[in-house]
Structure 1
Amino acid sequence: MRSGFGIGRKRLLGALFALGFVCGISYCIIRDLFISDRGGEVEAIVTTSLSEKPLKGCEEKEYIRYADVMSTAMKVIVHSKSRELAAKVTEAAIRRVAEIEKKMSRFAPDSELYRLNQSAYKEPFVASEELFTVIERSLEFCRVSDGALDITVVPLIDVYKKAALRGTPPMEGEIKDALKRIGWQKVLLDKERRSVKFAVEGMALDLGATAKGYAVDCALEVIKSLGIKHALVEIGGEVSVCGAQADGKEWPIGIVDPRTSHRYLRRLGIKDGAIATSGNYRRYYKIGERQFSHIVNPRTGETSDSAVSVSVIAGDCFSADALATAVSVLGPEQGLALIKKFAGVQALILWKDESGEKTFETDGFAEYAR
């Protein structure tokens, strides 16, 4: 499972260049953009130029703005006739994501999730409506995936981080001890009070597998509410689009082939939908000479090293994000069976194990190929 997020400005440029799989659209970054907190109110300090380019055969122009959020790069693209409107909506989208990060970062001491993790074993933590809703919805994906996605995986994440620091693989005893403090069923919710309680001491929640997708969806909703009909939002590889492009064409999305930087695994066309990609090539733990996936199986304690790349297309990015992680743990057979439970959801899996490397996909995935 993907671990949580914090604020990491220095990684912005590297992250931007790593985003070559999105959209095949050129971009121009002028300066940095960062999020700050002043007087208890989240503000977006906009120090980037809003880049623009004409769209062939359209009155609208394409406007692009970048930000550094959730320890990765955010890209906002809108097609509009008004530069003023484009500036307004892209800034508003970034502010919305900053608000979400302030609530759901596992690492920032002033975040709501951090405070929850510190106190939810001792006494029920009364959460904001937004955080409670994200936790509740995340737990539903934990349930339907039979625990392949588990937002209580933090103790295992910590085991692998410590192992990476010392340069030796985790010991069996460390993993067994961590597993005792993991289990989505041990998160006790009270809907009436909107409270969260941990049944076992040492538990913690990590929303890294759902909050990013949620943030993408929320940013796009802000953009639509301000009158934009053609837009794309991406945060660290999680993408959601509104409508088609202004010229009527689908948004071009490229899934990078992790085996080479020179080609795409698939080229897709999407409108009014979302796609999330997870895999062992994007983030990992380097322990000695071995590379371990950052996605950890919460039921066994082992990392999902065979999941080279998993892409999920869904109607919303929250679902795509959660399912991409779950499928990475479940593997091709069980993963595709899970995807079939969700109407309109498609998946592409690149899997590598002792028998070799294979590609699996749902029947409808090819419909998006371009």
Structure 2
Amino acid sequence: MSEFRPFRYRFSNQTSRYPVRRIEAGRSLGRSWRAVSLVIWLVLAGVSTREAAAGKLQRFEFLQIRMGIPVSLVVYGPDEHAANNATREAYDRLREIDRIMSDYDPDSELMQLCRTSRPGHPVKVSNELFHVLNDAVRLSRRTDGAFDVSIGPVVRLWRQARRKRELPDTDQLTLARQQVGFEAIRLDPEHQTVELRKSGMRLDLGGIAKGYAADEALRILREHGVPRSLVDAGGDIVAGDPPPDRPAWTIAIQPLGKASSKDALTLQIARTAVATSGDAYQYVEIDGVRYSHIVDPATGLGLTQSSSVTVIAADGTTSDSLASAVSVLGPERGMQLIEQTKGVEALIVVAGAEGPVTYRSSGFEAFLAVSQAQPEKN
């Protein structure tokens, strides 16, 4: 196997040896991407010069800012022209999705829906927005509201609290919580409309839209003739066909609370997705209590149990949303949800009094490198 090399994001407008590897600003689904306590490195091994000269596929790497996060594309193509064309279309698709689903852009379709829909007034929406909302509401039902995209009013209040480093005003929090409730999102598939049946509802797709966007980027790459591709949308990874010289893409996930790459677990994936959720870097301490940036709909406050969640699923929409849901549910209920979901595996790590405690789903080891497939002792 080729030597492991961590992929480091390089925020620079300078020309590099990789095509179209410039950083472009764009409107965002979030001003900062969800910090992951399982830090992911892509283990990217290149194709040799001799192989390229022989007319085999070459590897190309691209990096642009989309949806307020660094989105990395790794593709194997016959030449630079093909790789550039495919990735240009993929980044354009990500821009389209951001214009639809951003909760920061007041002109996005999502924010227009929140402004115009009200009880008794459904609004027709695009195929993309209806599809994502339908998946979100379905998961909300399965998790009894632990995952809830109507949490926007509470999230906005909690962002302010984190900046001020003080808990939200009790009356404001009570009002914000009254505006939350996935049960008030009425979807009409026949007319493709959405009705928000509570006044003041504000939707936030931050826990699902990145995964959907990564799915769409990979779909575009496939349609443009580069199926051997990998999309990393700020930690939400969707892998296509594997590199031409090996059976799978190799990535490493960094365990909770450890900074050295030697402690990382190595995963091998192909035609599947991996998402992470955690609070290693995005949290705030208020009155001696550590609060996560991840908000619990049941309380309207950030989680106080430090954890990290990695979910492997067939697509990014599923892995992204389940990682968000499991973070809120906690390890016991979260693992129960994972085990009940076909084709999904997970690794959950929570901070304990004597160190991190690890939970693995029954099939998670199938994705581990052989040398790491033995269960950990908790």
TM-score (norm 1): 0.84
| Contiguous gaps of at least 5 residues in structure 1 | 1-21, 38-51
For 1:55, what is the secondary structure of its paired residue?
coil
Displacement of 1:338: 0.3
Displacement of 1:174: 3.6
- The reply on whether 1:86 has 2:83 as its aligned counterpart is yes
Asked if 2 retains the 8 angstrom alpha-carbon contact of 1:280 and 1:305, the reply is: no
Displacement of 1:73: 0.3
Q: How far apart are the structure 1 equivalents of 2:59 and 2:127?
A: 35
Aligned ranges for residues 1-370 of structure 1 at < 5 Å?
A: 24-25=6-7, 31=13, 32-34=22-24, 54-56=46-48, 58=51, 59-121=56-118, 123-263=121-261, 264-285=263-284, 287=286, 291-353=290-352, 357-370=356-369
- Residues 289-340 of structure 1, C-alpha deviations (whole Å, 9 max, x = no match): 6542111111232322324210000000100000001100111111011011
Q: How far apart are the structure 2 equivalents of 1:299 and 1:323?
A: 17
Seq. identity, %: 31
Asked if 1 retains the 8 angstrom alpha-carbon contact of 2:153 and 2:177, the reply is: yes
Asked if 2 retains the 8 angstrom alpha-carbon contact of 1:69 and 1:97, the reply is: yes
Amino acid at match of 1:176: T
Q: How far apart are the structure 1 equivalents of 2:258 and 2:87?
A: 32
Asked if 2 retains the 8 angstrom alpha-carbon contact of 1:306 and 1:353, the reply is: no
For 1:153, what is the secondary structure of its paired residue?
helix
Amino acid at match of 1:270: I
For 1:328, what is the secondary structure of its paired residue?
helix
Amino acid at match of 1:276: A
Moved more, 136-145 or 120-129: 120-129
Are the structure 2 counterparts of residues 180 and 356 from structure 1 closer, same or farther at C-alpha, using a change threshold of 3 Å?
farther
Q: How far apart are the structure 2 equivalents of 1:213 and 1:282?
A: 20
Asked if 2 retains the 8 angstrom alpha-carbon contact of 1:102 and 1:111, the reply is: yes
Amino acid at match of 1:358: V
- Residues 221-277 of structure 1, C-alpha deviations (whole Å, 9 max, x = no match): 000111113100011100001111111231111112341322244211111100000
Q: How far apart are the structure 2 equivalents of 1:118 and 1:286?
A: 34
Q: How far apart are the structure 1 equivalents of 2:279 and 2:359?
A: 16
Q: When the two structures are aligned, how many residues end up with a matched partner?
A: 335
Q: How far apart are the structure 1 equivalents of 2:5 and 2:170?
A: 43
Q: How far apart are the structure 2 equivalents of 1:307 and 1:360?
A: 14
Output the aligned Cα RMSD: 2.4
Displacement of 1:104: 0.6
Are the structure 2 counterparts of residues 347 and 277 from structure 1 closer, same or farther at C-alpha, using a change threshold of 3 Å?
same
Moved more, 331-340 or 52-61: 52-61
Asked if 2 retains the 8 angstrom alpha-carbon contact of 1:309 and 1:351, the reply is: yes
Amino acid at match of 1:249: P
Q: How far apart are the structure 1 equivalents of 2:59 and 2:197?
A: 50
Name the structure where strand makes up a greater proportion of residues. 1
| Contiguous gaps of at least 5 residues in structure 2 | 14-21, 28-43, 370-378
Asked if 2 retains the 8 angstrom alpha-carbon contact of 1:277 and 1:321, the reply is: yes
Are the structure 2 counterparts of residues 318 and 98 from structure 1 closer, same or farther at C-alpha, using a change threshold of 3 Å?
same
Asked if 2 retains the 8 angstrom alpha-carbon contact of 1:53 and 1:61, the reply is: no
Q: How far apart are the structure 2 equivalents of 1:61 and 1:201?
A: 54
Amino acid at match of 2:61: I
Moved more, 159-168 or 149-158: 159-168
Q: How far apart are the structure 1 equivalents of 2:60 and 2:367?
A: 25
Asked if 2 retains the 8 angstrom alpha-carbon contact of 1:160 and 1:285, the reply is: no
Displacement of 1:182: 0.9
